[in-house]
Amino acid sequence: VKTQGKGDLYWFAQTDGMSATGSYVEEDQGISIRRQFLTRNGAPVQTFHQNDLVVVKLTLSSTNGLPIENIVVTDLLPSGFEIENPRITEPRDMPWITKAAIPEYYDIRDDRIHFFTTADAQEKAFYYQVRIISKGTFTVGPAAADAMYQGEYRSYSGGGKITVE
């Protein structure tokens, strides 16, 4: 920044994203979030292949047994994955999904999905589908759960690398 003249200059900068090394702190502070990648039949995914449809299961709970309101669950996708938007695609027949939680609101972006809900002692499971569109090795951000108005409640879990064959 280069300025001329007299007076004060105020500026602010903020960045967001994964660290260059892919490292992050895995923690549970009052809430717990966990991610699983499942096949169309509900089995854990063993290997990822281009053009596969994968079901993502996010499980949220309060670790202290108290309800915690205004939780945003954020799942960052690796670069080679694309969300199958439930607003524009037909629902798939997956009878093994029972007791899926319904969020108060959800927001789908190109690289992430957000679920807004309350965390309770009883686990809530949110499901969504992704299509694998590219081969390669990708960095996966952790699944995150944050209390929007109570910063002491947070959980980050499940980041790493994924190889698509």
Residues 86-136: tens digit of each pLDDT: 766 666 778 899 889 999 999 999 889 999 999 999 999 999 999 999 999
What is the rounded CA–CA span in Å between residue 89 and residue 4?
55
Percent of the chain with pLDDT over 90: 67
What is the rounded CA–CA span in Å between residue 127 and residue 36?
10
**Nearest by Cα to 78 from 60, 58, 56:** 56
The DSSP 8-state label assigned to residue 104 in this structure reads S
SS3 44: strand
Residues 56-68: tens digit of each pLDDT: 999 999 999 999 9
Residues 13-29: tens digit of each pLDDT: 877 666 666 677 899 99
Count of beta carbons in the 10 Å neighbourhood of residue 97: 14
